[in-house]
Amino acid sequence: MVTNLPIYLDHNSTTPCDPRVVEAMLPFFNSAFGNAASRSHAFGWQAEEAVKCAREQVAKLIGAEPGEIVFTSGATESDNLALKGVFEMYAGKGNHIITCNIEHKAVLDSCKHIEKLGGEVSYLNVKENGLIDLAELEAAIRPQTILISIMYANNEIGTIMPMKEISAIARKHDVLLFSDAAQAVGKIPVDVNADGIDLLAISAHKMYGPKGVGALYVRRKNPRVRLTAQIDGGGHEKGMRSGTLNVPGIVGLGKACELCLMEMEEETVRLGSLRDKLENALLQMDDTHLNGSKGNRLPHTTNISFKHLESEALMMGFSKELAVSSGSACMSATPEPSYVLKALGLDDELAHSSLRFGIGRFNTEEEIDYAIEQVTKTVSRLRETNPLREMHKNG
């Protein structure tokens, strides 16, 4: 029996803070409130020790060294620091960056900013499954190329990029590789050394941690990556990101990483099973279409188009029962169809009819059964009153 409505199925947008994360954070709001940069008394030492522990927890989750973790306000800031920081630092080597057209807006808009500064950016297209063409990637590399920026997993369709193959190409041509891994870290195994990644963005609130905190992994050897800081001040975070550290948030990020490391394997199996149950049931309806790759994607994500229906009308139909989205949260204010789905080759009508379902740690099988029932019922009801569908059926 489902009692807590609406059911939250938008975990790609954000996740609830795990109670164990909140518990770890609480002391650092009041009793242990010190500034981690205060080196002259016990309050500062306690905060500094907590940050050190969190740095180790974050590093362990992605196979990095603690000294390679730079704390930020989230993946958007990490994206900005990586892209702009590399562009400025390596200006003497070149000014060309390669990315792809389904990246998060934090990457795409940073690239647009770099273009205004005189940089050159190549935007790779993706195939209908959401993957880039590796031959096209290699062909796009020039002598002036300093960075390849490819997201680890897409936030709308869940497609996982072939990072090891991408990094092999980057290494072959002596080009740095950055990946926005906000959707991947904590959901699937990510190892910066095995994957050959030089810079990697992380966000706490995508993996049951608090909002407003994240990290950027910056490789220290083979090669040693250097960045120009984008926020100047007291030289915190080895001079890469000035500002008083958000100690409670950093503690929360660290605890979230620790929990993901412990529970990811089991959680992946459970969420994958729930996702498949939801997806298989919804795809049995007529005129439904799965967007992206069926095999190579995040275990908790599915994106489905319901032909001849507007996604907004669908969501209004079950808004009191279910919380889902029609795409990325950062784009929810725009009436335009998803640029990610358009990049896959979907026409405007199909792109406008899509829903993204993101299943999470606290969802139950009963909730998925209820979601299937509500979506099916709403789709059927709306289609009965939709003249477009009747016209289509009649040719």
Is 348 in the same domain as 222? no
Is 248 in the same domain as 366? no
pLDDT at 244: 93
pLDDT at 327: 67
pLDDT at 4: 87
Query: Is 288 within a domain?
Result: yes
CA 76 and chain centroid, separation: 10
Torsion of CA 251, 255, 257, 261, to 10 degrees: 160
- Give tens-digit pLDDT for 288-327: 999 999 989 999 999 999 999 999 999 999 989 999 998 6
Q: What is the 3-state secondary structure (H, E, C) of the chain?
A: CCCCCCEECECCCCCCCCHHHHHHHHHHHCCCCCCCCCCCCHHHHHHHHHHHHHHHHHHHHHCCCHHHEEEECCHHHHHHHHHHHHHHHCCCCCCEEEEECCCCHHHHHHHHHHHHCCCEEEEECECCCCCECHHHHHHHCCCCEEEEECCCECCCCCEECCHHHHHHHHHHCCCEEEEECCCCECCECCCCCCCCCCEEEEEHHHCCCCCCCEEEEECCCCCCCCCCCCCCCCCCHHHCCCCCCCHHHHHHHHHHHHHHHHHHHHHHHHHHHHHHHHHHHHCCCCCEEECCCCCCECCCEEEEEECCCCHHHHHHHCCCCEECECCCHHHCCCCCCCHHHHHCCCCHHHHCCEEEEECCCCCCHHHHHHHHHHHHHHHHHHHHCCHHHHHHHCC
pLDDT at 100: 98
Is 232 in the same domain as 247? yes
Is 103 in the same domain as 244? yes
Q: Has residue 260 got a pLDDT over 60?
A: yes
Q: Which of 17, 53, 260, 330 is catalytic?
A: 330
Residue bearing tokens 């990072």: 163
Mean pLDDT across 133-150: 98
Q: Has residue 335 got a pLDDT over 70?
A: no
Mean pLDDT across 237-254: 94
How many structural domains does the chain have? 2
Mean pLDDT across 234-240: 88
Q: Has residue 179 got a pLDDT over 60?
A: yes
Is 250 in the same domain as 278? no
- Give tens-digit pLDDT for 359-393: 999 999 999 999 999 999 999 999 988 766 555 56
CATH of the domain at 55: 3.40.640.10
Mean pLDDT across 129-158: 98
Is 307 in the same domain as 384? yes
Is 208 in the same domain as 275? no
330 included as an active-site residue: yes
Is 347 in the same domain as 238? no
Mean pLDDT across 132-159: 98
Query: Is 1 within a domain?
Result: no
Query: Is 229 within a domain?
Result: yes
CA 228 and chain centroid, separation: 24
Domain boundary among 258, 277, 310: 258
pLDDT at 387: 62
Query: Is 2 within a domain?
Result: no
Query: Is 277 within a domain?
Result: yes
pLDDT at 270: 98
Share of the chain above pLDDT 90, in %: 90
Is 232 in the same domain as 317? no
Query: Is 239 within a domain?
Result: yes
Domain boundary among 226, 258, 290: 258
Domain of residue 178 covers 19-258
Is 249 in the same domain as 334? no
CATH of the domain at 359: 3.90.1150.10
Query: Is 154 within a domain?
Result: yes
Is 284 in the same domain as 253? no
Domain boundary among 197, 230, 258: 258
Is 201 in the same domain as 301? no
